Structure 1
Amino acid sequence: MMTIRDTTFELLRKLNITTIFGNPGSTEETFLQDFPSDFRYVQVLQEASAVAAADAYAQATQSVGLVNVHTAAGMCNAMSNIFTASMNKTPLIITAGNQTREMLLMEPWLTNTHPEELPKPFVKWSYEPKRAEDVPAAFMRAYAMAIQEPAGPVFLSIPLDDWNQEFTGELVVRSVAHKVAADPERLKQFADKLSQAKNPVLIYGADISKHDGWKEAIALAEKMQVPVWAAPASERTPFPENHPLYAGGLPFATQPLSEKLQGHDVALIIGAPVFRYYPYVAGDYLPEGLALLHITNDPAEAARAPVGDSLISNPVLALSSLIEMVTVPENRQQPAIHKLPHHMAPHAVAENTQTTDTVLTALDVFKTVRKAVPENAILMEESPSNIAELHTAWPVTFHDGFYTAASGSLGWNVPAAVGIALAERDNGKNRPVVAMIGDGSLQYAIQGMWTANQQRLPIIYIVPVNREYAILKAFSECQDTPNVPGLDIPDLDIVSLAKGYGCIGKRAETTDQLFNFCLEALKQNRPTVIEVPISKVIPSLI
């Protein structure tokens, strides 16, 4: 007899989904019983961390990720990183159990009473099958929904007694296209406007990197010979930061962003929303005389853009067509070649560092780590108060060399590093993964370090310690809100916390110590967490 569980695992095999990230609960055990030997279960100690690890793994492998969490309680835990996966546009199937169908009417303990509503609005589709025999087909639909553009997470709730029921139907496996091509007439209009512009500019977003489009992005910029900005708050690097046409990252705020685009008559933004703003700084969305063209794979992004003309398309397909369609007038003025380095951070390195003879600056730390690790190391970031220092020290020069959370929500990068490192092991590249995590950010998903150790992943976690939420102090200054409580976090022992989860824990107080600890970490078969005290800085926000 083929059960619902047997049939579902066979479907997952045919879809090449054989890694499951999860934190098991009582309502999930009927799904996980007699776990197939050709599947891999990656145990994570908290549901949000399971979603983050699966998210990063799916991004790095360019596949659909699968997460299994506990019923209503586990879904509530997972929501912060379901939100992030939605903004990351990561194809994920998130599953949770529910109580037995016979008891659902009376809402027993641990029932998800509104399973299809709970994860909204951060999933593309949410469903609890009406019959047990519908479960495999629901997984097939979930896969199709997750992978089609714009990709994103979907959710299935499965009552725990469904899995052992007999499956008497036919297993149907379908393939679906997951790239959206542009309207050719509309794309020609965009190409003509770019060709006729006197001083155009390109703004590239993270979706270019997610779809492996650096080659096309570079080709269009070099054909047009125009400057390239990274869209605000790009979670992936959209263009090589050592390219002479790279201008840096646009600011997060309305007025400063508009000022950066002064003098241009046409701007094309592709693979990003128009625009990510935070904090609010009043001003015009665009400088006078600038026409904005917007290409996105997400109709919702196109709809909510406050300015500009939009086109729905996969960014790389659109770039490939524009390379052929755009012409360059002989009399077009050549762009100023920007002096390197430029970086994605929208502001310069902070000048108000409280330096001492015994405490390193954030810039010291990041320069030292960059020097110690190989050129092909993958950088991850969740240290918002010193992103300018990080990107100054570590220019990203390959398309999958940088990851962070599109949402700005903390608690993604520690477990996400597990997903990236697992993908590196699976694809045989085995590039080092270096995660820069602030001492405050680390606490949001610290249990992810346990999974990194259990999987024997040689991740290097660098923890700059300033014992405060410096980014919140920056917002306090920007918003003129003095005397906010709770912005200091003393008495955290990062080394002891790391050792408690089975990782190697080190404390570096000099650049020599830090450099040598990084070299040692590269030789390990488990994660290393390096705590580094740094000078206190209140960063600029714009």
Structure 2
Amino acid sequence: MTTVSVRHAVHELMAFHGMTTIFGNPGSNELPFLKDLPARYILGLQEGTVVAMADGYAQVTDRPTLINLHAASGTGNGLGALTNATVSRSKLVLTAGQQVRDMVGPEVMLANVDATVLAKPLVHQSLEPLSAADVPRAFSQSVLAADRGPVYLSVPYDDWDAEVPAAVIAELSRTVRPATVVDPDVIADLRARLVAAERPVLVLGPDVDTDAGWEASIALAEALEIPVWAAPSLPRLPFPNRHPLFRSVLPAAIAGIGEILGAHDLALVIGAPVFRYHQWQPGQYLPETTALVQIGDDPSAADRAPFGDALLADPVEVLSALAEAVAPGPAGTWSAEIDPAATSAKDGVLHPEEVFATLREQMPGDTRFVVESTSTNAAFWAQMDLRRSGSYFFPASGGLGWGLPASMGVALADPDRPVVTIIGDGSAHYSIAALRTAVEEDIPVVIVLLRNGTYGALDWFARLLGVDKAPGLDLGEVDFVSIARGYGMTAEHADDIAELGRLLDRARAGGGPMLIEVTTEPTNPDGGASPERTRSTT
């Protein structure tokens, strides 16, 4: 009987599944797996950075993406970033090295006694094979299970040199594909309810942010002239934000959503849970006069919804079938009417709206924006005009430190579309070492760092909760240009809009990573200026 090492078998399974890029931060327990690695290894200098890069990569490729972490400590470092991937249901396989089997029980250095528990409940499946011979099968199971979200696999490092029958490679080179055909009777019923409704509304979520999802949702909305809202706490944009039927992103509060959807008699929520609330503003979920149907392929989201009916199905398939059922005409065209950007009253300080207006005007229409500047949320939507799927990425659970490395994963996954990272100075501190990966891998990201010296979103939330003089909100002034240059990155500061425009042109022409720092006026997520600054408009 021909045998191969466990390592060789797993490497072959990686190739079968197209796992040609790995994101990691290795330690001693992981080295035996990395021997003769047949894949590109993207190094992150901290595990949170590693997980966020892989998350961005997986969201764009929509394929299982392999992560290599170091034992328990490395796994622990990555858990903050994993919260975002869990909410996004990103297809991640997190592998972690374990001590040799004979040394786990005595709890020696780098042993993880409860390895399968460590990443729960953030992963929906967690494995540590009971024998070396079962490692290839456990790896195969993890890759296939990642189609439903992140999974965790712990492997003792002496397992990689163990021998297994070579036949397991062919046996485990298998696929599992879900059926995507939607029951025609279900589509007919939904169509009838839409047509019969006097005031229907669509609420779209991140799961329909695909080319097919955008095409179908635009066709359906235009055919029936239905207003469209985006689901709250939005990590992806499911509909063009300047379309005349697009209203906005729903507020992340019970009372706010209940009031908005209460004006309609039928709400179809497609590709989003019901709902991801944030601030506590209690009220009635929905009046009795509003019926709600949630459509998605996440059983847990359907189970935990506090109201409404649910249909378990692929949301894009349902949208496409509905659009076809109402026989829409050709998609319409629209022009964006955007109010002039607000301006700052202080020299050398820009209003965030000025920055976003410049990005809208100068960056190509297919640019992907990875955003982690919560306090400028309203300013971003006031100025941007996004007309392509996959144009907007935001940390799904609100975990900071995600945006900077995630943008690198996004750019690695699709080098054909420009990538702009919009990040606040508070967020940048969490994962600043990701700049080194961008330089080493020559990743063409344009990083626009908005420096306002404060945790603006937290300041706004503190006032919302009536918390005066909350500590820890003042960040001071940090020279991020010098930090970036220290990592070997091209970096400049823009004092005005003209200079920002010139630097954006330079970044696009250069082709590599570049950081542009801008001092900005503090603003709030709801669009208001912070009390200590004035806001003027032109």
Amino acid at match of 2:422: M
In structure 1, distance between residues paired with 2:303 and 2:501 = 48
Which residue number in structure 2 is paired with residue 315 of structure 1? 315
Amino acid at match of 1:509: D
Distance 1:211 1:126, change over 3 A: farther
Which residue number in structure 1 is paired with residue 407 of structure 2? 417
Tell me the CA shift for residue 339 of structure 1.
Answer: 9.9
Distance 1:409 1:69, change over 3 A: same
Amino acid at match of 2:149: G
Structure 1 position 79 matched with structure 2 position 79:
yes
User: Which of residues 133, 152, 171 is equivalent to 1:155?
Assistant: 152
Amino acid at match of 2:153: L
CA contact under 8 A between 2:55 and 2:90: conserved in structure 1?
Answer: yes
Count of paired positions: 519
The root-mean-square deviation of aligned C-alpha atoms, in Å, is 2.2
Distance 1:125 1:211, change over 3 A: farther
| 1:191-213 deviation per Cα after TM superposition (whole angstroms, max 9, x unaligned) | 33222111111111110015741
CA contact under 8 A between 2:211 and 2:389: conserved in structure 1?
Answer: no
CA contact under 8 A between 2:296 and 2:311: conserved in structure 1?
Answer: yes
Structure 1 position 201 matched with structure 2 position 201:
yes
Structure 1 position 372 matched with structure 2 position 362:
yes
Structure 1 position 27 matched with structure 2 position 29:
yes
SS in 1 for 2:492: strand
Tell me the CA shift for residue 180 of structure 1.
Answer: 5.0
User: Which of residues 519, 523, 530 is equivalent to 2:505?
Assistant: 519
Tell me the CA shift for residue 355 of structure 1.
Answer: 3.0
SS in 2 for 1:170: helix
In structure 2, distance between residues paired with 1:456 and 1:340 = 35
Structure 1 position 166 matched with structure 2 position 156:
no
Distance 1:539 1:92, change over 3 A: closer
The residue correspondences of 1:366-515 to structure 2 (distance < 5 A) are 366-425=356-415, 429=416, 431-515=417-501
CA contact under 8 A between 1:180 and 1:312: conserved in structure 2?
Answer: no
Distance 1:395 1:211, change over 3 A: closer
Distance 1:111 1:183, change over 3 A: farther
SS in 2 for 1:176: coil
Structure 1 unmatched ranges of 5 or more:
329-336, 343-347
Amino acid at match of 1:27: N
In structure 2, distance between residues paired with 1:160 and 1:245 = 56
CA contact under 8 A between 2:242 and 2:385: conserved in structure 1?
Answer: yes
| 1:265-295 deviation per Cα after TM superposition (whole angstroms, max 9, x unaligned) | 1110100011121111121112451111110
CA contact under 8 A between 1:369 and 1:514: conserved in structure 2?
Answer: no
The residue correspondences of 1:64-143 to structure 2 (distance < 5 A) are 64-143=64-143
CA contact under 8 A between 2:206 and 2:236: conserved in structure 1?
Answer: yes
| 1:453-489 deviation per Cα after TM superposition (whole angstroms, max 9, x unaligned) | 1110121100111100010110111100111111110
Tell me the CA shift for residue 241 of structure 1.
Answer: 1.9
User: Which of residues 8, 11, 14 is equivalent to 1:12?
Assistant: 14
Amino acid at match of 2:463: E
CA contact under 8 A between 1:350 and 1:537: conserved in structure 2?
Answer: no
Structure 2 unmatched ranges of 5 or more:
529-538
CA contact under 8 A between 1:461 and 1:528: conserved in structure 2?
Answer: yes
Distance 1:341 1:95, change over 3 A: farther
Distance 1:338 1:456, change over 3 A: closer
CA contact under 8 A between 1:450 and 1:501: conserved in structure 2?
Answer: yes
Identity %: 40
SS in 2 for 1:522: helix
In structure 1, distance between residues paired with 2:211 and 2:349 = 41
In structure 1, distance between residues paired with 2:268 and 2:130 = 46
In structure 2, distance between residues paired with 1:309 and 1:211 = 27
CA contact under 8 A between 1:414 and 1:442: conserved in structure 2?
Answer: yes
Tell me the CA shift for residue 219 of structure 1.
Answer: 1.9
The residue correspondences of 1:137-286 to structure 2 (distance < 5 A) are 137-147=137-147, 151-168=148-165, 170-171=168-169, 172=171, 173-178=173-178, 180-182=180-182, 185-210=185-210, 212-286=212-286
CA contact under 8 A between 2:69 and 2:97: conserved in structure 1?
Answer: yes
Tell me the CA shift for residue 25 of structure 1.
Answer: 0.5
Tell me the CA shift for residue 179 of structure 1.
Answer: 5.3
Amino acid at match of 1:49: T
| 1:366-412 deviation per Cα after TM superposition (whole angstroms, max 9, x unaligned) | 11222222222211100000011112221211001111121111111
In structure 2, distance between residues paired with 1:369 and 1:239 = 20
In structure 1, distance between residues paired with 2:492 and 2:365 = 23
Amino acid at match of 2:6: I
In structure 2, distance between residues paired with 1:210 and 1:63 = 14
| 1:129-182 deviation per Cα after TM superposition (whole angstroms, max 9, x unaligned) | 0111111111111111111xxx21001000000001111252221111145555
In structure 1, distance between residues paired with 2:274 and 2:373 = 25
Choose 283-292 or 312-321, whichever is displaced more.
283-292
Choose 303-312 or 66-75, whichever is displaced more.
303-312
Tell me the CA shift for residue 223 of structure 1.
Answer: 2.1
User: Which of residues 521, 525, 530 is equivalent to 1:535?
Assistant: 521
Which residue number in structure 2 is paired with residue 333 of structure 1? none
SS in 2 for 1:41: strand
Distance 1:41 1:187, change over 3 A: same
CA contact under 8 A between 2:5 and 2:160: conserved in structure 1?
Answer: yes
CA contact under 8 A between 2:11 and 2:37: conserved in structure 1?
Answer: no
